[in-house]
Amino acid sequence: MSIYSPKYGLESVNAELKDCINELRFKSIGIVDVAVVSLEGLPIVSLVLEKVEETRFAAMTAAMLSLGERVATELNKGLLKKIFVEGDHGYIVTMQAGDCAVLTVSATTDTKLGLLFLDMERAASKIANILAFH
């Protein structure tokens, strides 16, 4: 877990974000990886398995967000709420967490998606509040 950007350099912010993503990871069954990423694709804080490279996970999150926003705009679907990717072995879900961050989760196929979306929305709101006040 780490914070790369000097903007988020406060230890209290780091601790609050870690608590938030820890709570999310262990609240929803099936979550494997959780990351809070800057809009530029830099990892802010994460809980990722050793086989997943944190910076690559963050960069892919930013790329998905950029493309998703463009598709939503071009196809007149309004503001992007979430990006959902389904593969044979699980899901990747990305959603905005305030004005300067994105929350991304990797989960297994046994994850209950409705609960995952709800838990992620709550976590994204907490993350937005944490970053807005620091």
Predicted local distance difference test score (pLDDT) of residue 50: 66
Residue 91 falls inside a structural domain: yes
Q: Where is pLDDT greater, at 78 or 133?
A: 78
pLDDT tens per residue across span 51-60:
788 888 899 9
Which helix (H) or strand (E) segment is 117 a member of?
helix 113-132
Task: Supply the CATH number for residue 99's domain.
Answer: 3.30.450.30
Residue 111 falls inside a structural domain: yes
- Is residue 53 within 8 A of residue 61, CB to CB? The reply is no
Residue 52 falls inside a structural domain: yes
Tokens of 28: 């929803």
Q: 8: pLDDT confidence band, cut at 50, 70 and 90?
A: very low
Q: Where is pLDDT greater, at 12 or 78?
A: 78
Spatial neighbors of 4 by CB under 8 A, at least 6 apart, are 38, 42, 43, 44
β partners of residue 38: 101
Residue 94 falls inside a structural domain: yes
Going across the sheet that includes 90-96, the strands are 43-47, 31-38, 101-107, 90-96, 82-87
Residue 1 falls inside a structural domain: no
pLDDT exceeding 70 applies to what percent of the chain?
Answer: 91
Domain that holds residue 35: 6-132
Residue 44 falls inside a structural domain: yes
Residue 100 falls inside a structural domain: yes
Number of domains in the chain: 1
Residue closest to 95 by CA, chosen among 84, 109, 86, 111: 84
